[in-house]
Structure 1
Amino acid sequence: MDKSEHWFYSYLPTNMAGGCFDSLLPVFIVLALNGSVGDVALVSIAASFTAVPSLIFWGKASDFMKWRKHFIVLGFLGRAIAYTAMGFSVGTHSLLFASILMGLLASASTPAMSILILESFRKEHWSEKIGLFNNIAGIGNLAGIALGFVWIAMAPTWFGLETSLRLLFLLNAVLALVGTWLAFILIIEPEEKISRETFHEHLFQIFRWAQDRGRYLPERVHHFFRFGHLKNLRREHSGKGGYVGWFLASTFIYNIGAVGFFTIAPVFLIVELRLGGALVFILSFIQALASTLLFKSVGRFSDHGNKPRLLFLAKTARFFIFGLYVAVIPILAISELGAVAFLILLHLAMGATWAIIADTQLPIAVGSEQDEHKGSHAGVFNASVGLGAIAGGAIGGIVATSVGFASSILLCSCIILASAIVLRLTVQPRVKAVEEKGATKPNGA
């Protein structure tokens, strides 16, 4: 193996901690702190809200100083500190502080990693190295969820439920520290630096196969939002044929529904259905495994297919999948085993649809005829995802607290449908028109 690839393995323990953390957080709030769905939403929003400006700050700092290694080490160390603070939190207020700390510090590594992969290798090897990195990161994420399930299934027998959940946070901190140490000794700072504004397609390839999450704490980021991006977007798409503005609106709406659902769902399973925290990890693992196995095949298919149509079908399918989630209530009254099997099928479908959504939405967002606008589109896309996640967490928590779990889940599914309708009525025909216009241009035009 090339020595320059060794630092990829620092993401194995770090992503194990991250994969476990995503499912652990709502379980810990509900079972250890006796929190509500509103508390889950508040803690998630705090991390998301902090991560949006933090990513921009750390990205600008990394690009200005031309340092990659130091920021990755800082981000990994920040995760370890945040996990430790969460493990010792005595209530939702202290957990809220730790979540803000996570958003502030953990985001330091994300922008640096996205560009370090390209700076570390020759251009002809980029696709191969990005594929290897995605595989290692994906294995880490799945291993972390599996670790969480095994721990939750066994540790409460020895330590009790609350203590075992706190120890799992501390175990995540140890994993993050291992990742910090590996990053410190394995990352070789590249001598040649490049601009993230130049290498759009490969940066997007790094981003495409990230996992579905219930909050905005991205492991990868491509471009950062600037207000000038809005000006570029408005100028390029002021004509009747512009579609990117509509697509970004659809993306914003989608993230409200999706993040709202994933904020509510684990609390619904534990509080309403009383199926236990271990099931949250099982379902998360199944969903992540399904999307991971499908990423490459979906990518090959979508590269030769109609991306807006595939995205519309995936979002429409999610409308039905999310809506069917409430059907587990009557099924559970008949058979607990049947309810669990039904939930497994739904989460397999969620993983499959996410593989399509993750693979298609960014290429549509940056699908400009002029390459110099791709960075602007990606920056606004990133902002629409982040703001949608913040709004989704807030709406999910407020609605679930006000009208109950079933009604709020159905509302989230309807928001997903609204996003699909906007995509179908405004984006699909415009993308087709742009593609037909491009196809009719003479060579060299």
Structure 2
Amino acid sequence: MATLSAPAAEGTTWERKVRWFYSFLPHKMGAGSTLSLMPLFITDVLGANVAVVGIASALSSAAAVPAAWFWGWLSDRFGSRRSYLALGFLGFALPTLLMAFSRDIYTFLLLVVAAAATGMAATPVSSTLIMDSLPRSHWDQAFGRFNQIGGWALVAGRIFGFLWMTYAVLWWGNEFAQRNLWLIGGGLGLLSVVGAWQMTPVLNRRRLPERAHMAEIVGKTGFSLVERPRYLPNSLHHLPTLNPLRLVRQLLAAGLGAPIRRFSQPLILYYLVSFLLFTASVMAYTPFAVWQRQELGNTPGHVFLVGMVNSIAAAFSYRWVGAAIQRRDSLIVQAGTLTLRVMVFGGFAAVSLLGLRGPASLAVLIFLQALSGLSWAGIAVAGNTTVAHLAPRGREGAAVGTYNSFVGLGAILGALVSGYVVLWLGYGLAFAVGAGGIGLTVLMLMLVRHWARVNHDVTP
């Protein structure tokens, strides 16, 4: 009788323990299908302007950041991980279903906040489940599998959203198509509630040893494979222990040359670079869908097509970017991919200011979005890897948690000002401002690299 070898049996065992990964499939597909829907729904169906799109995105991020901390803290103390996973799926599904029936912008914004706050219940739990149920030797594989399943499910949702908005608009009209896509996305989320309850193991409540946060693990987790309207972690493996606002006040009062007791000086500068990066990126990308509809005259299906190209390019680039970081340092890779993003936003500005319209503009946007997907892969992978290598040994987890805080704050600020920048300057100049902000971050990244190599003998 044939028997499994020890390594094969061990591999089979850990894969059985993470069957709950697949409970994310319907949830991620539902989220992916509605990823480009919010700005179109706000402007096309509810009749609000682009500034309200920015406010909605900012409120979503502002609700999600503290909610992630709260749910992570609560799940460590009360109840089972399975309960919080199911609650997170339900917290996304119910508000999403109700969005289909929104008749005014205030009701819709309330549902956006509810979905962001309650849907985050599953985010910290997903990572702690992996680390609590598997030995450290399997973390790398498990996190990779988790990101792969979730990322491609989002891409599948993107494809479905594109097909739905292309044909449903033709057959039943724009408002019908958009309202029913909320119903489909929420319905898929409900399937994940059932899957999580059936497939997630219930671990014995015990005092777990403090988890080590190795740089090679930290670098492979944290952000989704797919760029979102709000830039928040796909999984949290450590909650922030520093107050980023207090840290910024200290820096402004004492100057960047002041000694930082807890983290090294290049890491502090990298936090500020990341804040600027996400402020500029979110500011430029938040009105992107509305711009396509209102200025370029693209159909809702075309808007979803352009978003889908970005997601597919990012998913295919993720592994390649990771390999590039292993061959070269992470800051060089990130600077290179951010240079692509300068070109992308500059291209958007050129399309707007030169008056390019019709099939030609759509072809240019598809090409630029493919470059943007590659750029996002560089941001997602290189960001956490850089922080993990710049952080003092043994403090990688806290450093990544603080990094996530600066990312969240940048996303909130960028979304909040985006609509008003468009109203004041127009779409073309708003994209140009975003390109300039990203260009500044590239120069600052080179300064971080120089300080790390010269003063701290570190190669990120």
**Aligned counterpart in structure 2 of residue 337 of structure 1, from 359, 362, 369:** 359
Distance 1:110 1:178, change over 3 A: same
**Aligned counterpart in structure 2 of residue 392 of structure 1, from 390, 414, 424:** 414
Q: Is 2:228 the partner of 1:222?
A: no
Which residue in 2 is equivalent to 1:279?
302
Q: Is 2:449 the partner of 1:428?
A: yes
- Say whether the 8 Å CA contact 2:72–2:124 is kept in structure 1: yes
**Aligned counterpart in structure 1 of residue 213 of structure 2, from 192, 199, 202:** 199
- Say whether the 8 Å CA contact 2:452–2:459 is kept in structure 1: no
Which residue in 2 is equivalent to 1:148?
161
Cα distance in 2, alignment partners of residues 245 and 100 from structure 1: 31
Which residue in 2 is equivalent to 1:160?
173
Write the deviation string for residues 79-106 of structure 1: whole angstroms up to 9, x where unpaired.
Answer: 0111012111112111100011012100
Cα distance in 1, alignment partners of residues 45 and 212 from structure 2: 47
Counterparts of residues 208-247 of structure 1 (less than 5 Å): 208=223, 210-227=225-242, 237=260, 242-247=265-270
Higher share in helix: 1
Q: Is 2:49 the partner of 1:49?
A: no
Write the deviation string for residues 94-142 of structure 1: whole angstroms up to 9, x where unpaired.
Answer: 1100011012100111000111122222332222222222221112100
Given the two structures, how large is their TM-score scaled by the length of structure 1? 0.91
TM-superposed CA distance for 1:310, in Å, is: 1.7
**Aligned counterpart in structure 2 of residue 350 of structure 1, from 358, 372, 376:** 372
Which residue in 1 is equivalent to 2:329?
306
Given the two structures, how large is their TM-score scaled by the length of structure 2? 0.88
Which amino acid is the alignment partner of residue 248 of structure 1? Y
Which residue in 1 is equivalent to 2:342?
319
SS in 2 for 1:227: coil
Which residue in 1 is equivalent to 2:8?
none
TM-superposed CA distance for 1:432, in Å, is: 1.7
TM-superposed CA distance for 1:205, in Å, is: 2.0
SS in 2 for 1:205: coil
Distance 1:28 1:275, change over 3 A: same
Unaligned stretches of 5+ residues in structure 2: 1-11, 252-257
Counterparts of residues 105-120 of structure 1 (less than 5 Å): 105-120=118-133
Cα distance in 1, alignment partners of residues 264 and 243 from structure 2: 21
Greater alpha carbon shift after TM alignment, 320-329 vs 212-221: 212-221
Distance 1:196 1:166, change over 3 A: farther
**Aligned counterpart in structure 2 of residue 68 of structure 1, from 51, 64, 81:** 81
Write the deviation string for residues 270-317 of structure 1: whole angstroms up to 9, x where unpaired.
Answer: 111111211221111111111111111210220231211221222222
Which residue in 1 is equivalent to 2:36?
23
* Number of positions where the alignment pairs a residue of Structure 1 with one of Structure 2: 437
Distance 1:123 1:323, change over 3 A: same
- Say whether the 8 Å CA contact 1:89–1:95 is kept in structure 2: yes
- Say whether the 8 Å CA contact 2:143–2:220 is kept in structure 1: yes
Distance 1:194 1:336, change over 3 A: farther
TM-superposed CA distance for 1:239, in Å, is: 11
Which residue in 2 is equivalent to 1:407?
429
Which amino acid is the alignment partner of residue 199 of structure 1? H
- Say whether the 8 Å CA contact 1:223–1:382 is kept in structure 2: no
- Say whether the 8 Å CA contact 1:119–1:193 is kept in structure 2: no
Which residue in 1 is equivalent to 2:192?
179
**Aligned counterpart in structure 2 of residue 4 of structure 1, from 17, 22, 33:** 17
Distance 1:397 1:438, change over 3 A: closer
- Say whether the 8 Å CA contact 2:224–2:233 is kept in structure 1: no
Which residue in 2 is equivalent to 1:442?
none
Cα distance in 1, alignment partners of residues 458 and 48 from structure 2: 55
- Say whether the 8 Å CA contact 2:390–2:458 is kept in structure 1: no
